[in-house]
Amino acid sequence: MVMPRAQCPRCERTVAAAPIPDAPGRGRLWRHDEPGTRRDADGALVSCPGSLEAVELPTPVTQLTLDEREDAAAPDALF
């Protein structure tokens, strides 16, 4: 399954976001590391403070529409 991607408000990385049930258009960011900070001085993994934060998801894909051309042939004229 492909997850939508959203920008973390803390570190500005683009990460996967899981949709939140009963919250259309909102998602929860997946756990991620800030750029350049994966472990602390003791070697423990450090997550970005924006991990698991709820964010607005990008606009879903919409169907493109075609403009009608004046010079287009009528359907009856095709046969």
- How distant, in Å, are the alpha carbons of 19, 20, 28 from that of 23? 8, 5, 10
The arithmetic mean of pLDDT across residues 69-77, rounded, is: 63
Q: What is the pTM of this model?
A: 0.63
**38-65, pLDDT tens digit by residue?**
788 888 888 999 999 999 998 765 556 7
Query: Residue ranges of the domains in the chain?
Result: 1-57
Please identify which residue in the block is written with the tokens 């602390």: 40
Q: What is the mean pLDDT of the chain?
A: 82
Burial of 17 (0-12, 13-18, 19+ CB in 10 A): buried
10/45 Cα distance (integer angstroms)? 17
**pLDDT for residue 78 is more than 80:** no
Q: Which of 49, 25, 46 is nearest to 37 (CA)?
A: 46
Look at residue 31 in the predicted model and tell me its pLDDT.
Answer: 93
